[in-house]
């Protein structure tokens, strides 16, 4: 296959653009808490990321190096697109981690911290008893 830098650069820029559009949309959805919509767009995101990965890995051996030892696909435009992608990907990771942390807190509130309002233990008289209702930190009463 003959290496055509101009065509490859255009394809690479297009690939970065498509992924960046997906990341921008996902980041906005994450900022507004629309997790269901984020999940729904996951197949599209995966498809665009795989396409970009193929572009980056294809023709690597055929590309060689241009004048000055610089890779021919490394142009100011591709460097700028890669920097934009990196910024969006870092923000996306942070927003996804925040969403996951929020889900963990919610699950903990619902499942772990939602204990029944009854406890068992020894009362003031030394007898074993079960108490129903909300618990209090300090309570003076007779359990007899």
Q: Please answer whether residues 119 and 131 qualify as being in contact, where contact means their C-beta atoms are separated by less than 8 angstroms.
A: yes
Computed over every residue of the chain, the mean pLDDT equals: 80
Helix 76-107 to helix 5-31 angle (10° resolution) is 30
Buried b (16+ CB within 10 A) or exposed e, 32-43: eeeeeebeeeee
Look at residue 1 and tell me whether its pLDDT is greater than 50: no
Look at residue 93 and tell me whether its pLDDT is greater than 70: yes
Average pLDDT over residues 86-90: 96
Q: Which SS3 state, helix, strand or coil, does residue 118 take?
A: strand
Using one digit for the tens of pLDDT, what is the confidence trace for 135-144? Answer: 555 555 555 5
Using one digit for the tens of pLDDT, what is the confidence trace for 13-57? Answer: 999 999 999 999 999 999 999 999 999 999 999 999 999 999 888
Helix 42-57 to helix 5-31 angle (10° resolution) is 150
| Domains located in the chain, CATH noted | 5-112 (1.20.58)
Distance of CA 87 to the CA centre of its chain: 14
């Amino acid at each position: 296959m003959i290496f055509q830098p101009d065509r490859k650069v255009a394809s690479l820029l297009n690939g970065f653009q498509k992924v960046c559009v997906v990341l921008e949309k996902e980041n906005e959805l994450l900022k507004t808490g629309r997790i269901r919509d984020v999940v729904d767009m996951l197949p599209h995101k995966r498809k665009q990321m795989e396409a970009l990965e193929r572009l980056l890995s294809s023709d690597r051996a055929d590309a060689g190096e241009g004048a000055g030892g610089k890779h021919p696909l490394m142009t100011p435009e591709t460097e700028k697109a890669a920097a934009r992608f990196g910024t969006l990907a870092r923000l996306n990771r942070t927003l996804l981690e925040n969403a996951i942390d929020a889900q963990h807190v919610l699950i903990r509130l619902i499942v772990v911290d939602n204990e029944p309002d009854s406890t068992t233990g020894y009362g003031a008289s030394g007898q074993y008893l079960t108490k129903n209702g909300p618990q209090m930190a300090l309570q003076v009463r007779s359990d007899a």
